Structure 1
């Protein structure tokens, strides 16, 4: 059982077990803005990181990593004090004008989000960062391409104070808000995803609630990432709509739903650790982890960058230190004879397994064909069909 606080919920990450809140009091915000001598426009990814820092999802961090902390996380997957941390949280820029000592107003799409005291400006070793964090420095990896081609020449480090959270079309509950919805003294499983949820996924997290290391009465926090991800993924706004209709269709009292403004790195094992730390801060005690979690393929050869169980092994290795438990997601198959069963049962009983690939599913959506009810929820199909028929063609 994971440790709990006096309020009988999971402790936040860090030696002080304290949920960070970087939002400045309302009466201080005008003075903070007035103190700024520079302005900086955030990218979509930057804005996600600012929001997660401000609400405490990256507890115990209080800002973007300075050089020594960045290098420690890159090389050792730990902060300089030894605390486990999966991926470096950095603010990138090409600006020659911003220097240590500056007070910078961080804005996003016309909205002032935070004020940053710049304490560090450095040129990162991007090839080393990619090799250590993603296991490769090849541009065939989407995050390597992001670091090399999207991120600026310099990284800025320093503490931030929040002014406002980004205005989004979907609400992203803060860690404290999510914690307020969780049952006291009870196991809370986290289910991470970045795609629409189909029936096999649903079976995974419903069955995980009955895992041997999960207590009776546990709940599952379905916590999809809705920030930027791979170019060919379904847009976050559309994914959000699929989750909302599914929440209504299933109306399952053992589920909690929230949305995470996190930008995926597809970093496999390292990202598994990052996701566990974030979900720990949201109050979860258990993390459901599947095959090839946060994995990706070469954009040229199609070869997987990570082994199917690399992320699970990394998560299991550090679960105790993170004060969490892992629940491996079952390998589920749909059979004509018995519906959804584990793949082992399907094989042992020689059952007839039905399959539908993601590519075939998308083709059927475009063509207006009926989608098998065993594969997808009707409500989700309706949202996806509307999106796929109105989206501009890809070139």
Structure 2
């Protein structure tokens, strides 16, 4: 079994570094960076001894190998902004902190360079299309500088849920040894497991004469994935369906890149570190979904071919399978290439599953065990019981707030749902009073607004946001955050600049043109019109009340509200009473 790298320091060394770190510049790790740090620290990324240096980075991008020739297909790098790079210099110490400010690691910086992110995207993902989530992260969220050097981990990130299923590689290897398991097949997943997955794993256990490690990703998956807690309850509900003592559940804090074939190799190497002897690879392993034109980013079986080409270096056996299909005539699942010609075969796609959850349609027992269906229903009530956010964007003076207030009135009068109006000016006063109007500060303000909206949505409330939100990247991040817990509708109030100026009661445009107000959107700062708006409103052509009704009709069409039908508003009722 391969040797593990452990970057964790002693308690005495950690105390020393903690005292010294007060003089060093700090970097707050992103969620992805925190996942990477955890797997570097505990040995999950063995043989890496830290974030990649420039030579290793370039070699991995070009050849899927470290500079010394060791197979490693995915760059694991630490990106920081220019201000932090200037503070730390070409060589110096950098304190790495979690989002709560806790010192979790220190880096003695030895290399710093500006990467070519477009070239990295082509090398690793085979595309520069930002519809690919890995490319989108590179182009929209990765900072200007990569740094590397000697890394010392003071403590691994703390996890407060599902602790019984969290193991380091050393701990999981010890668990297998204690159970007497010398042949373990690992199953990768970032979705709930249904009967097709269960049958696939049982087949793999028979083929390999091995026990099973269900090893789901709980770091970062694909945008839109089902939340971790729901998935873990589904896995635990499924465990008793395996033969007693034959399966174990352990959680992998990995931030996926959705790099398809390259990532399939990466996942195999990681599972080797965790003690698996076999690894299941299905169709379209770690695929990011489809391109905007409906074509896949990767051949569904390219991962199989790439793994088999490197099987001698992986350190474990690869089990490749096609998709499993339910054959009702035989009441069992078969690999799709073994379904007899003319035999009826059934499957439920991810899109169909989401539709059934949203509309309350039953999940058939041939598709998923009742225990798993019950857990999904707990977390995914019918759409008209879910929370949602309506986000109005447009220039100052476009009428966003007026339409938002009209919509708030319609929702409270007709539906009695809890509604929170987050007007841009009011929210900035209470949430972001210390921020200016630079691009970074504007994005930070919208991120805070999005955080509040996502929390309201998660708890099945309704948030209405009305903010200029001039930049596409910030708006997309809000959409991603809110959509993870409920509905999101982006409404673009598309008012031309002269129209907005003509109705400017506050005189802001005049002050901006006179130079009294700097960084004013539409005059001295840009506005990026959304290309992904769900609704486009022309306030010059329709009233605020009419626009609000159109938004309400859109919510009815999506299923987030039940249309009460004609005569449901108070005015109509009072008219009939008279």
Q: Please, what TM-score do these two structures have when normalized by structure 2?
A: 0.62
Instruction: Work out the CA distance in 2 between the residues paired with 1:313 and 1:149.
Output: 31
Counterparts of residues 174-213 of structure 1 (less than 5 Å) = 174-183=168-177, 184=180, 186-211=182-207
What do you get for the CA RMSD once the two structures are aligned? 1.8
Q: Larger deviation: 221-230 or 164-173?
A: 164-173
Cα distance change, pair 121–140 in 1 and its aligned pair in 2 (3 A):
same
| Gap runs ≥5 in structure 2 | 387-484, 490-578
Query: 2:318 aligns to what SS in structure 1?
Result: strand
Runs of 4+ with >3 A deviation: 248-252
Report if the CA contact (8 A) 1:189-1:287 is conserved. Answer: yes
Query: 2:88 aligns to what SS in structure 1?
Result: coil
Cα distance change, pair 98–239 in 1 and its aligned pair in 2 (3 A):
farther
Query: 1:74 aligns to what SS in structure 2?
Result: helix
Aligned to 1:281: 273
1:76 is matched with which residue: 63, 72, 81? 63
| Gap runs ≥5 in structure 1 | 1-10, 13-17
CA displacement 1:42-77 (0-9 Å, x = unmatched): 111000000000000011111111111111111111
Instruction: Work out the CA distance in 2 between the residues paired with 1:329 and 1:364.
Output: 27
Q: State the shift of 1:191 in Å.
A: 0.8
CA displacement 1:258-294 (0-9 Å, x = unmatched): 1111111110111011101101101112111111111
Report if the CA contact (8 A) 1:119-1:157 is conserved. Answer: yes
Instruction: Work out the CA distance in 2 between the residues paired with 1:200 and 1:176.
Output: 31
Aligned length: 375
Instruction: Work out the CA distance in 1 between the residues paired with 2:173 and 2:126.
Output: 34
Cα distance change, pair 330–181 in 1 and its aligned pair in 2 (3 A):
farther
Q: State the shift of 1:90 in Å.
A: 0.4
Higher relative contact order (CA 8 A, sep 6+): 1
Q: Does 1:112 align with 2:103?
A: yes
Instruction: Work out the CA distance in 2 between the residues paired with 1:364 and 1:328.
Output: 30
1:123 is matched with which residue: 90, 114, 123? 114
Q: Larger deviation: 124-133 or 353-362?
A: 353-362
Report if the CA contact (8 A) 2:237-2:372 is conserved. Answer: yes
Larger Rg belongs to:
2
Structure with greater proportional helix content = 2
Aligned to 1:4: none
Cα distance change, pair 304–346 in 1 and its aligned pair in 2 (3 A):
same
Q: Larger deviation: 148-157 or 43-52?
A: 148-157
Query: 1:347 aligns to what SS in structure 2?
Result: coil
Report if the CA contact (8 A) 1:226-1:239 is conserved. Answer: no
Aligned to 1:393: 487
Report if the CA contact (8 A) 1:332-1:340 is conserved. Answer: no
Query: 1:129 aligns to what SS in structure 2?
Result: helix
Aligned to 1:49: 36
Q: Please, what TM-score do these two structures have when normalized by structure 1?
A: 0.90
Query: 1:118 aligns to what SS in structure 2?
Result: strand
Q: State the shift of 1:164 in Å.
A: 1.6
Instruction: Work out the CA distance in 1 between the residues paired with 2:38 and 2:154.
Output: 10
Instruction: Work out the CA distance in 1 between the residues paired with 2:284 and 2:182.
Output: 28
Report if the CA contact (8 A) 1:366-1:385 is conserved. Answer: no
